[in-house]
Amino acid sequence: MNTKTISFLALATFVGSALAAEDFDVAAAWVKDCQKCHAEDGSGLTKKGRKLRLKDYRKPEVQAKMTDEEIVKAIKEGVKEDGEFTMNAYAEDYTDEQITALLAYIRALGK
């Protein structure tokens, strides 16, 4: 492969991932994968959310205690308690850009 071909492939990959992130409907992803536990508004006030004693993402003090890195890790790797997953891992379902969009969505719930 020559340098022009490699450059073109790199550019195509970059543009493709940027377009995928632009087309990403973060609200739809929240409804599909997060809302059943965390609630539409991030309160955690669902049957499953109450059972798991989920934090209320609307509260500034909850937002202040969570780092971006912790949130991203939870989305990517899931959450385990007592050796069992209480939240599924989504690293294979979402790109890094999409996970960043989910992080921003969670942060916006506290405003």
Q: What is the pLDDT of residues 20-37, one digit of tens each?
A: 557 999 999 999 999 999
Domain total for the chain?
1
| Sign for the pseudo-dihedral over CA of 79, 83, 88, 89 | positive
Cα–Cα distance, 84 to 15 (Å, whole number): 38
Answer yes or no: is 15 within a domain. no
pLDDT at 10 over 50: no
Q: Looking at beta carbons, which pairs linking 38-47 to residues 24 or more positions away fall under 8 Å?
A: 41/109, 42/106, 42/109, 42/110
Domain assignment of residue 60, given as a range: 25-109
Q: Which pLDDT belongs to residue 34?
A: 97
Flag whether 5 is in a domain.
Answer: no
| pLDDT for the residue 103 | 97
59: domain CATH number is 1.10.760.10
pLDDT at 94 over 90: yes
Global pTM value: 0.78
Q: How confident is the model at residue 47 (pLDDT cuts 50, 70, 90)?
A: very high
